[in-house]
């Protein structure tokens, strides 16, 4: 409690200090804008009046000079009087003393003033007094961590009955890292975090955004999750497939070589969920999935068997890209939707029969559920030996297929 209270005080003080600085900056910018507007109006309005004043002063000065010259001509010597009067008369004829520039009326002359509405203080006061809340506990909390091969399934739940969530935001970090990073934003209450190193602690936290709100709620109490299961990896070296750096994505390349791409090890255990997902790559979606073929397969098997171009064989269950399901090489009556870009195919298995003679060659039965595009088939897979772990594999006849396994 003391630790969270201290952290909350620090967050509040930092936020309001930042708010003060931002408000001062905005007010200073607005003041400078208004002062510049005053300067612009003043300069534009005073310019024609200054020009008018210069013209009037010039006319008065000219008339004054002419007046003095006329007085001098009258009071001068008789010999020079006629010459001065003649010069004075010529100048008087050429100077227009009866015209003045147009002077605007007083009502047309700008008179600057500042219009300041005091209601701004009331609005700011109301907004500030409603700004920020202190919660005794976050509205959502982390609920469960489920180990996955190379990943963790994180689940969370709402703990505030009055809170109506619109979106959730999940973050994680290695226990040795200093910053959290976003890993999921959406409306679901669970997410599989991949690329998790086995036997390494990770911290997770979640928050939510209320319906119609922009701001996020306080973070949940950070909790530690980890997995002891090594990640699923495709085996390297098969000529017809290119692998990602983590070896969990396989791309059927342009090589003419064909065959089954198996997992590096039998890392799929009964009770887990094995997921194949078609990964989007390239600019054309139709090239992503490639041309389907009836011999294509995605599935699991008891052992690696080279020399086959498909998992449609004994000791294997699989689904073809056209949706056909095969058990020990035989096609089932039930069929799933065809595999397309973005499709997800999952395999779930559990042991339903473990007789005393299982280790001596007796029947070993697995209840298999294969799901694809919101449809599933369930059947029993009978084997002649006990299998605690299985290989997974895939085969594609044509290039363009790209599969992520987790």
Query: 252 has which bridge partners?
Result: 241
- Output the pLDDT for position 90: 74
Q: What is the pLDDT of residues 112-161, one digit of tens each?
A: 888 888 888 888 888 888 887 777 788 999 999 999 888 999 999 999 88
Annotate 161-197 with b (16+ C-beta within 10 A) or e (fewer): eeeebebbbbbbbeeeeeeeeebbeeeebebbbbebe
> What tokens were used for 368?
């298999």
Annotate 259-268 with b (16+ C-beta within 10 A) or e (fewer): bbbbbeebbb
pTM of the model: 0.62
Radius of gyration for the chain, computed over Cα atoms and rounded to the nearest angstrom: 43
CA dist 245 and 174 (Å) reads 20
Count of beta carbons in the 10 Å neighbourhood of residue 82: 11
CA dist 242 and 247 (Å) reads 9
Give pLDDT tens digits along the chain (406 positions): 888 889 889 989 999 999 999 999 999 999 999 999 999 988 888 887 887 888 888 778 877 877 887 777 777 665 666 777 777 777 777 776 666 666 667 777 778 888 888 888 888 888 888 887 777 788 999 999 999 888 999 999 999 888 899 999 999 999 888 899 999 999 999 999 988 999 999 999 999 998 888 889 989 989 999 999 889 999 999 999 999 998 999 999 998 888 999 999 999 988 888 888 865 332 222 234 678 899 999 999 999 998 899 999 999 999 999 999 999 999 999 999 998 888 889 999 988 865 554 444 457 889 999 999 889 999 999 888 888 789 999 999 999 899 999 8
Where does 75-139 have alpha helices with state H? 78-94, 119-130
Contact 203, 180 (CB under 8 A): yes
- Please report, to the nearest 10 degrees, the dihedral formed by the alpha carbons of residues 10, 16, 21, 23 taken in order: 170
- Output the pLDDT for position 98: 62
- CATH superfamily of domain region 140-225: Immunoglobulins (2.60.40.10)
Contact 272, 357 (CB under 8 A): no
- Output the pLDDT for position 287: 33
The CATH number for 241-405, chosen from 3.40.190.10, 2.60.120.920, 3.30.420.40, 3.40.50.300, is: 2.60.120.920
CA dist 170 and 175 (Å) reads 16
- Output the pLDDT for position 158: 92
Closest CA to 332 of 372, 365, 367, 380: 380
- Output the pLDDT for position 253: 92
Please, what is the average pLDDT of the chain? 85
Query: 276 has which bridge partners?
Result: 345, 405
Annotate 41-53 with b (16+ C-beta within 10 A) or e (fewer): eeeeeeeeeeeee
The H or E element that residue 56 is part of is: helix 2-74
């Amino acid at each position: 409690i003391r630790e969270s209270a201290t952290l909350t005080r620090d967050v509040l003080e930092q936020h309001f200090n930042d708010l003060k600085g931002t408000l001062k900056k905005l007010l200073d910018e607005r003041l400078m804008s208004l002062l510049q507007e005053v300067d612009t109006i003043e300069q534009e309005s005073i310019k024609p009046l200054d020009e008018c004043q210069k013209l009037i002063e010039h006319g008065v000065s000219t008339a004054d000079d002419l007046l003095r010259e006329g007085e001098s001509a009258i009071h001068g010597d008789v010999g020079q009087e006629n010459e001065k009067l003649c010069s004075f008369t010529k100048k008087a004829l050429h100077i227009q003393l009866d015209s003045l520039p147009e002077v605007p009326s007083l009502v047309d002359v700008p008179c600057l003033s500042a219009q300041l509405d005091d209601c701004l203080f009331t609005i700011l006061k109301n907004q500030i007094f409603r700004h920020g809340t202190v919660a005794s506990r976050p509205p959502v909390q982390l609920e469960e961590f489920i180990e996955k091969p190379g990943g963790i399934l994180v689940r969370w739940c709402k703990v505030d009955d009055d809170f109506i969530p619109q979106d959730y935001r999940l973050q994680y970090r290695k226990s040795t890292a200093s910053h959290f990073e976003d890993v999921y934003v959406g409306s679901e209450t669970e997410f599989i975090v991949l690329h998790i190193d086995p036997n390494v602690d990770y911290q997770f936290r979640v928050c939510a955004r209320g319906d119609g709100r922009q701001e996020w709620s306080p973070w949940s109490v950070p909790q530690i999750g980890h997995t002891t299961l090594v990640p699923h990896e495709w085996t390297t070296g098969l000529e017809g497939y290119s692998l990602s750096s983590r070896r969990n994505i396989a791309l059927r390349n342009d090589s003419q070589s064909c065959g089954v791409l198996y997992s590096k090890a039998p890392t799929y255990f009964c009770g887990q969920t094995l997921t194949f997902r078609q990964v989007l790559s390239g600019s054309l979606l139709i090239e992503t999935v490639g041309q389907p073929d009836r011999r294509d397969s995605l599935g699991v098997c008891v052992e690696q068997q080279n020399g086959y171009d498909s998992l449609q064989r004994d000791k294997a269950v699989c689904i073809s890209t056209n949706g056909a399901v095969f058990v020990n090489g035989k096609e089932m009556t039930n069929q799933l939707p065809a595999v397309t870009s973005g499709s997800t195919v999952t395999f779930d298995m559990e042991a339903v029969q473990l007789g005393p003679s299982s280790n001596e060659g007796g029947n070993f039965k697995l209840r298999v559920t294969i799901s694809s595009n919101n449809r599933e088939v369930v059947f029993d897979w009978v084997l002649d030996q006990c299998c605690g772990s299985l290989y997974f594999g895939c085969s594609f006849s044509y290039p363009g297929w790209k599969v992520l396994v987790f």
